[in-house]
């Protein structure tokens, strides 16, 4: 297990559950991609490339949760190596499968999107932002330590997929003027539906757990309930005075205001990149041989591969925008020790005391954490 997390603690159990889920999914995926003559990955299926990408995206996220890998570049390299091995071993003659460059690119697209979102969801900030991130991580561990929570998540994802698939087909039939692609958009609708449902359940679970944690005051490193001692009984971490103080965060309107700019930039980037790519292709196609060949190759790809290429671009921009939103919110939280997060009152002359102080203007609780004290 991870270096500092003692056996049996909530953080340990959450990691163990993630490892079990990862190994089961990895074994299932390896069998599915190597099963002799399986039709789904043989190139006939209309959602083959989308299935490849979502499979590897899901495996990447699970591998991150196992805590076997601590750095995102390592996660990317390992998953890319796995995807390569997965394709190369399909060339073994007895399996009657074949190694496919397009499949491999689809795997890499899924890995890239997953790693971008893992990076976007990483803890950010130094002061209050970092403290809130630790509380959240602690609540998530507490939730995922319970095996039943994983089944609830899987059930929510399955229901979300069942609801999302027909919506995807419906959206396709509305917007597509050309031949309809019910399979591909049904698949994308199912993936999005599963993601939205699982995320909604996870988010409500984290909030519920967080409220509970304010009473239990667990160790922020391993999740073991506070036994009234200065140090965690399980992992030895010294409990901070402010670990579970009632300092408030930003209100929803302020968070929304901080997200306007990254979201607008993200939408603009998708539109600009789209038109720039079309303009570049159409103007250079007749003059540059390589562009011509790329254009022919792309046009000759199966529909699901082209949809996957577009979806990957949109998802990467979306992950960037999400990371910017989170960074801005964490940055604003970090200012919480110097300026009241509710009324803006300058708190630099106010002594916070051991477990946090109160704004003299509006009475809102505040703390100074790490770097926050120096601002």
Q: Which residues does 205 contact at the CB level (< 8 Å), separation at least 6?
A: 143, 149
Asked if 359 touches Zn ion (CB under 5 A), the answer is yes
Span of 196-204, 224-232, 244-252, 367-375 interacting with Zn ion by CB under 5 A: 224-232
- In the complex, least distance from residue 256 CB atom to Zn ion, rounded to whole angstroms: 20
Residue whose CB is less far from Zn ion, 68 or 345: 345
- In the complex, least distance from residue 130 CB atom to Zn ion, rounded to whole angstroms: 17
- In the complex, least distance from residue 228 CB atom to Zn ion, rounded to whole angstroms: 14
Contact by Cβ (8 Å): 60, 118: yes
What is each CA distance from 190 to 50, 76, 168, 375, in whole angstroms?
Answer: 11, 25, 7, 46
d(CA 170, CA 23): 36
Neighbours of 293 (CB within 10 A): 11
Q: Which of 343, 348, 353, 373 binds Zn ion (CB under 5 A)?
A: 343
Q: Which of 254, 255, 295, 361 binds Zn ion (CB under 5 A)?
A: 361
Contact by Cβ (8 Å): 13, 145: yes
Asked if 340 touches Zn ion (CB under 5 A), the answer is yes
- In the complex, least distance from residue 255 CB atom to Zn ion, rounded to whole angstroms: 17
Asked if 342 touches Zn ion (CB under 5 A), the answer is yes
- In the complex, least distance from residue 226 CB atom to Zn ion, rounded to whole angstroms: 9
Please report, as residue ranges, which positions from 247 to 276 form the binding site for Zn ion (by CB under 5 A). none
Q: Which of 77, 271, 362, 373 binds Zn ion (CB under 5 A)?
A: 362
| E strand or H helix at 198 | helix 182-216
Residue whose CB is less far from Zn ion, 197 or 221: 221
Closest CA to 28 of 59, 5, 50: 59
**DSSP characters for 66-130?**
TTS---HHHHHHHHHHHHHHHHHHTT-GGGT----HHHHHHHHHHHHHHHHHHHHTS---SSHHH
Query: Helix axis angle, 10-34 relative to 128-144, nearest 10°?
Result: 70
Asked if 245 touches Zn ion (CB under 5 A), the answer is no
- In the complex, least distance from residue 224 CB atom to Zn ion, rounded to whole angstroms: 5
**DSSP characters for 204-242?**
HHHHHHHHHHHHH-B-TTT-PBP-SSSB-TTT-PBPPTT
Asked if 222 touches Zn ion (CB under 5 A), the answer is yes
- In the complex, least distance from residue 230 CB atom to Zn ion, rounded to whole angstroms: 12
Residue whose CB is less far from Zn ion, 325 or 359: 359
The contact mask relative to Zn ion for 146-165 (x = CB under 5 A, - = no) is --------------------
Asked if 232 touches Zn ion (CB under 5 A), the answer is yes
Asked if 213 touches Zn ion (CB under 5 A), the answer is no
Chain CA centroid to CA 116, Å: 7
Q: Which of 130, 144, 149, 221 binds Zn ion (CB under 5 A)?
A: 221
Asked if 237 touches Zn ion (CB under 5 A), the answer is yes
- In the complex, least distance from residue 197 CB atom to Zn ion, rounded to whole angstroms: 32
Asked if 345 touches Zn ion (CB under 5 A), the answer is yes
Closest CA to 220 of 129, 143, 131, 144: 131
Residues that bind Zn ion (CB under 5 A): 219, 221-222, 224, 232, 234-235, 237, 340, 342-343, 345, 359, 361-362, 364
């Amino acid at each position: 297990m991870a270096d500092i997390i003692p056996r049996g603690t909530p953080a340990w159990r959450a990691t163990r559950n993630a490892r079990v889920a990862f190994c089961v999914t990895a074994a299932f995926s390896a069998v599915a991609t190597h099963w002799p003559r399986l039709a789904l990955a043989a190139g006939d299926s209309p959602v083959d490339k989308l299935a490849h990408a979502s499979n590897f995206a899901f495996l990447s996220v699970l591998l991150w949760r196992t805590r076997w890998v601590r750095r995102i570049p390592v996660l990317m390299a390992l998953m890319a190596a796995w995807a390569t091995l997965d394709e190369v071993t399909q060339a073994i003659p007895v399996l009657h499968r074949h190694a496919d460059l397009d499949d491999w690119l689809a795997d890499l697209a899924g890995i890239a999107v997953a790693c971008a979102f893992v990076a976007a969801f990483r803890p950010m900030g130094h002061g209050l932002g970092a403290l809130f991130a630790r509380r959240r991580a602690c609540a998530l561990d507490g939730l995922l330590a319970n095996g039943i929570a994983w089944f609830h998540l899987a059930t929510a994802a399955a229901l979300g997929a069942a609801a999302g698939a027909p919506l995807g087909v419906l959206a396709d039939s509305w917007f597509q003027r050309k031949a309809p692609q019910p399979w591909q958009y049904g698949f994308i609708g199912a993936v999005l539906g599963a993601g939205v449902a699982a995320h909604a359940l996870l988010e409500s679970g984290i909030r519920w757990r967080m409220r509970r944690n304010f009473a239990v005051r667990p160790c922020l490193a391993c999740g073991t309930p506070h036994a009234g001692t200065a140090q965690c009984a399980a992992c030895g971490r010294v409990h901070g005075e402010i670990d579970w103080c009632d300092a408030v965060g930003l209100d929803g309107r302020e968070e929304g205001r901080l997200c306007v700019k990254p979201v607008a930039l993200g939408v603009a980037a998708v539109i600009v990149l789209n038109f720039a790519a079309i303009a570049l292709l159409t103007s250079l196609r007749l003059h540059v041989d390589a562009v011509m060949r790329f254009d022919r190759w792309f046009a000759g790809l199966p529909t699901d591969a082209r949809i996957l290429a577009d979806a990957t671009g949109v998802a990467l921009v979306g992950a960037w925008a999400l990371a910017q939103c989170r960074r801005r919110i964490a940055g604003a939280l970090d200012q919480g020790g110097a300026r009241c997060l509710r009324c803006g009152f300058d708190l630099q002359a106010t002594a916070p005391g051991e477990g946090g102080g109160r704004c003299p203007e509006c009475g809102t609780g505040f703390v100074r954490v790490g770097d926050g004290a120096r601002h």
